[in-house]
Amino acid sequence: MNIEEVTETFELMDEWEDRYRFIIDLGRNLPDFDESDQTEENRVHGCTSKVWLVYDKKGEKIVFKGDSDAHIVRGLVSIILMIFSHKTPKEILDTDAKSILTDLGLSQHLSPMRTNGLFSMVERIKAIGESFR
């Protein structure tokens, strides 16, 4: 699934309860995350829940993997990875994640702490993108 398909699915759902369930399902479909990568170095700070993010450069593109100890946050990690993974550093830096997340309605329907965590993930990914420029 990609971010465009998530947006289309959200548009078909009238209730936020359905969207939350969908987000949780997205998190269940995240690729396995190696426990050895659940280190303090890979942890995204600013999130209430524990979130880990790792990356690998494959050619010109950066591939991200992530995980969380909370179901809803795993789904949010999945959405963030759809937005940024398999892109070049320039594409990562040029991506307006705030606009995408606002269009999905996430910032209006998540707690302030979850929203802060979401944008902490975005900042971390942008910093990684910047490090390869």
All structural domains of the chain, each given as residue ranges with its CATH number in brackets, are 3-131 (3.90.1010.10)
The reported pTM is 0.95
Q: Is-contact 51 40, C-beta < 8 A?
A: no
Residue 60, number of CB atoms within 10 A of its CB: 11
Q: Is-contact 104 6, C-beta < 8 A?
A: yes
Report the chain (133 residues): mean pLDDT per 10 consecutive residues: 95 95 96 96 92 97 97 97 98 96 90 91 97 90
Q: Which of 47, 70, 76, 128 is catalytic?
A: 47
Alpha-carbon distance 93 to 126, whole Å? 6
pLDDT in tens, 55-74: 999 999 999 999 999 999 99
Alpha-carbon distance 43 to 65, whole Å? 12
Q: Could you confirm whether 47 is annotated as catalytic?
A: yes
Alpha-carbon distance 80 to 109, whole Å? 16
The first and second tokens of residue 91, run together, are 């594409």
